[in-house]
């Protein structure tokens, strides 16, 4: 159970130069408002508010967000109103609390509930991304205490977490939060599969842990020998739900999973990252095609790191990730990490909205049918993502299984409409070809061609491409 003293410790260490009295006042206000209220777990309700604020403080969110985390259930669950919150804490915090409150009010069931939940999420994102981050911090603690919820409600909350909240955390680059939400929901949504994966890796993890410890000692020795500065080296175990998804793609064969445990090396800056990579490759031979430079070419969600898979002298393959402290924080906390650089206010600025948020709002306006809306969202937001390149080296993010036509329409409607062929990695390829991360795509066009082929609707998978093709065919 997280106490206010725990929250205060993290505030003092992370916000030494800022006024944390705002958060202390919010705690006293929330304590008074929730006085006498208990959760189903039997603990005082205020501990949920503290845990939400603690999660936000760990992400190094701004102080108004942390205060709103403490106050987020006050208007809905106590005698105090949103107006009371506004009078005491001002407009900014009141708007954050109001945004989180609206997300919690759902009057439908089934498909309608699912669609309404998504629509509310996207509207909140458009208004201020901090609202979603507060909601994710709130959901994390709810998942950690899910045993205290009625059985019939448990499955719905866990499914929502797996299908909505974890993918949104992923798109915000909040990888640590995404994996925690997935692993907390996994046993409730897929109990048999969870038991199978857990049993499958139990013995293997003991062997892999001993093996990665040997790799770690050798790497440390090499880095010390070359006087390379590193902050720490640690083993990272693949989270269970991610492992389950990979096992399904690999024919349920655990021997085909090379990154059950990876070695993560954290260094002070970018130059050190490349120095470490050189030392690692001098010691061990890298696998062809498994060296990935996400520093020179970051993923669209901001993820930066060097990845390499190497053959070791133990006859096994090891995955090694190398990144700076700043990159490590960004990989854990994603968009929330920017609060360290006083950029958090920009999360509420429409001009700095991620492109995919703007795209989701467009879908929301144009698709009113709930079933169709959910189908498009699952394709555009929740599918695994790939990262491909234009001939000039620009990174384009698309859903898995996207085709050259999806790429063409993503670049520009006219390029899509006039497409007559495509080259992938300088080789002519069919328009039905499924793209892979790292592909370089060149679209061949004919200026005399004005409209797309109706059959293309069966080739493209992104809703944006489908909509552009339909619009052109209507004309």
Taking residues 290-295, what's their average pLDDT? Answer: 90
Which secondary structure element, helix H or strand E, spans residue 71, and what is its range? Answer: helix 63-71
Mention every residue, 6+ apart, whose C-beta is less than 8 A from residue 456.
405, 431, 469
- Counting residues of the chain whose pLDDT is more than 90, the rounded percentage is 42
What is the pairing mode between strands 419-424 and 427-429? antiparallel
Is residue 369 in a domain? no
> Which CATH number characterizes residue 394's domain?
3.10.20.30
Which band of pLDDT confidence, cut at 50, 70 and 90, is reported for residue 110? confident
- 93 and 226 part of one domain: no
Residues with Cβ within 8 Å of 79's Cβ and at least 6 positions away in sequence, in order, are: 33
SS3 472: helix
Report yes or no on 359 lying in a domain: no
pLDDT value at position 40? 80
Task: Say if residue 114 is in the same domain as residue 41.
Answer: yes
Same domain, 244 and 176: no
Least confident of 107-111, 243-247, 370-374: 107-111
- Residue with the bigger pLDDT between 335 and 129: it is 129
Model pLDDT, residue 353: 63
Question: By the 8 A CB rule, do 55 and 137 touch?
Answer: yes
Q: Known catalytic residue: 18?
A: no
Residue 356 confidence (pLDDT) above 50? yes
Q: Comparing 64-68, 72-76, 349-353, which segment has the lowest mean pLDDT?
A: 349-353
pLDDT score recorded for residue 352? 58
In a 3-state reduction of DSSP, which class is residue 20? coil
For residue 442, the model assigns a pLDDT of 94
- Residue 243 domain-assigned? yes
* Highest mean pLDDT out of 101-110, 164-173, 185-194: 185-194
Least confident of 167-171, 185-189, 332-336, 403-407: 332-336
Q: What is the CATH number of the domain that holds 169?
A: 1.10.3210.10
208 or 456: which leads in pLDDT: 456
Question: Does residue 118 carry a pLDDT above 90?
Answer: no
| Local structure of 442: helix, strand or coil | strand
Q: Does residue 384 register a pLDDT over 80?
A: no
Q: With cut-offs at 50, 70 and 90, classify the pLDDT of residue 340.
A: very low
- What's residue 249's pLDDT? 83
**Is residue 89 over pLDDT 90?**
yes
> Has this prediction a pTM greater than 0.85?
no
Within 8 A by CB and 6+ apart from 163, the residues are 114, 382
Question: How many domains does one find in the chain?
Answer: 3
Q: What are phi and psi of 173, to 5 degrees?
A: 75, 15
Q: How confident is the model at residue 18 (pLDDT cuts 50, 70, 90)?
A: low
- Name the catalytic one among 77, 372, 400, 442: 77
Residue 406 within a domain: yes
Domain boundary among 172, 188, 204: 188
Say whether pLDDT at 93 is over 50. Answer: yes
- pLDDT over 60 at 54, yes or no: yes
| 198 and 163 part of one domain | no
> Which of 125, 155, 188 represents a domain boundary (last residue)?
188
The per-residue pLDDT for range 418-434, each reduced to its tens digit, is: 999 999 999 999 999 99
Structure tokens at 254: 């655990």
Q: What average pLDDT does the segment 136-142 reach?
A: 94
* Residue from 18, 32, 43, 76 carrying the catalytic annotation: 76
> Measuring CA to CA, how many Å separate 37 from each of 3, 73, 88?
16, 12, 22
- pLDDT-above-70 percentage for the chain: 93
77 catalytically annotated: yes
Query: Among 65-74, 175-184, 368-377, 399-408, which stretch is predicted with the lowest mean pLDDT?
Result: 368-377
Residues 6+ apart with CB under 8 A from 57: 7, 10, 11, 14, 66
- Looking at per-residue confidence, does 64 or 450 come out higher? 64
Model confidence at 373, pLDDT cuts 50, 70, 90, reads confident
Whether residues 168 and 285 share a domain: the answer is: no
84 is in which domain, residue-wise?
4-188
For residue 358 the two structure tokens come to: 């703007």
Interior CA angle at 89 toward 86 and 94, to 5°?
45
Does a structural domain hold residue 198?
yes
Last residue of one domain, picked from the residues 299, 332, 365:
332
pLDDT value at position 342?
45
Q: How confident is the model at residue 253 (pLDDT cuts 50, 70, 90)?
A: confident
Nearest to 118 by CA among 73, 168, 170: 168
Confidence of residue 125 (pLDDT cuts 50, 70, 90): confident
- pLDDT value of residue 380: 67
pLDDT at position 330, please?
84
Q: Is residue 215 part of a domain?
A: yes
Within 13 Å of residue 310, how many CA atoms lie on the same side as its CB? Answer: 22
User: Which of 111-115, 259-263, 380-384 is modeled with the greatest confidence?
Assistant: 259-263
Span of 89-93, 230-234, 389-393 with lowest mean pLDDT: 389-393
> 376-400 as b/e, with b when 16 or more CB fall inside 10 Å?
bbebbbbbebbbbbeeeeeebbbbe
Chain mean pLDDT for the chain:
86
Token couple for 443: 């679209």
Question: Mean pLDDT over residues 244-257, rounded?
Answer: 84
Give the residue-averaged pLDDT of 34-63.
Answer: 90
What would you report as the CA-atom Rg of the chain, rounded to the nearest whole angstrom? 24
pLDDT band at residue 341 under the 50/70/90 scheme: very low
My answer on whether 62 and 36 are in the same domain is yes
Residue 386: name the closest of 378, 376, 397 by CA: 397
Tell me, yes or no, whether 373 lies in a domain.
no
Let me know if residue 388 belongs to a domain.
Answer: yes
**Cα dihedral 40/45/50/55 (nearest 10):** 30
> What is the predicted pLDDT for the residue at 220?
94
Of the pLDDT bands very low, low, confident and very high (cuts 50, 70, 90), residue 221 is very high
Question: 87 and 70: one domain?
Answer: yes
Are 215 and 143 part of one and the same domain?
A: no
């Amino acid at each position: 159970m997280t106490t206010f003293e725990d929250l205060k410790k993290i505030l003092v260490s992370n916000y030494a130069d800022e006024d944390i009295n705002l958060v202390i006042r919010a705690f006293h206000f929330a304590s008074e408002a929730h006085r006498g209220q208990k959760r189903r777990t039997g603990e005082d309700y205020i501990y949920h508010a503290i845990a939400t604020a603690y999660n936000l403080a760990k992400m190094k969110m701004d102080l108004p967000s942390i205060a709103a985390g403490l106050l987020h259930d006050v208007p809905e669950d106590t005698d105090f109103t949103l107006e009371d919150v506004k009078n005491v804490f001002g407009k900014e915090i009141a708007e954050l609390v109001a945004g989180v409150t609206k997300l919690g009010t759902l009057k439908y069931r089934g498909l309608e509930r699912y669609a309404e939940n998504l629509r509310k999420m996207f509207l909140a994102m458009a208004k201020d991304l901090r609202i979603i981050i507060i909601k994710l911090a709130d959901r994390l603690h709810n998942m950690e205490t899910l045993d205290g919820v009625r059985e019939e409600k448990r499955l719905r909350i866990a499914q929502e977490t797996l299908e909505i909240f974890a993918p949104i955390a992923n798109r915000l680059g909040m990888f640590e939060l995404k994996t925690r939400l997935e692993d907390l929901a996994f046993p409730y949504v897929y109990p048999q599969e969870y038991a199978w994966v857990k049993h499958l890796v139990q013995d293997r993890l003991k062997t892999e842990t001993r093996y990665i410890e040997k790799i770690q000692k050798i790497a440390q020795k090499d880095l010390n020998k070359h006087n390379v500065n590193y902050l720490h080296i640690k083993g990272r175990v693949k989270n269970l739900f991610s492992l389950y998804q990979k096992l399904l793609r690999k024919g349920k064969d655990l021997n085909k999973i090379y990154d059950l445990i990876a070695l993560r090396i954290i260094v002070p800056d970018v130059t050190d990252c490349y120095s470490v990579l050189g030392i690692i490759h001098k010691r061990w031979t890298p696998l062809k095609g498994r060296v990935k430079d996400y520093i020179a070419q970051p993923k669209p969600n901001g993820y930066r790191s060097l990845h390499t898979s190497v053959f070791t002298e133990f006859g096994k393959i090891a995955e090694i990730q190398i990144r700076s402290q700043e990159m490590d924080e960004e990989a854990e906390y994603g968009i929330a990490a920017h609060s360290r650089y006083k950029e958090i206010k920009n999360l509420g600025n429409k001009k700095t909205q991620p492109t995919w948020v703007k795209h989701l709002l467009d879908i929301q306006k144009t698709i009113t049918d709930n079933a169709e809306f959910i189908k498009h969202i699952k394709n555009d937001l929740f599918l695994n993502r790939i990262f491909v390149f234009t001939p000039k080296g620009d990174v384009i993010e698309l859903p898995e299984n996207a085709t050259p036509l999806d790429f063409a329409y993503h670049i520009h409607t006219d390029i899509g409409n006039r497409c007559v062929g495509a080259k992938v990695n300088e080789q002519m390829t069919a328009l039905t070809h499924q793209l892979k991360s790292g592909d370089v795509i060149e679209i061949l066009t004919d200026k005399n061609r004005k409209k797309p082929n109706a059959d293309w609707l069966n080739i493209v998978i992104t809703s944006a491409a489908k909509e552009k093709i339909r619009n052109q065919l209507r004309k």
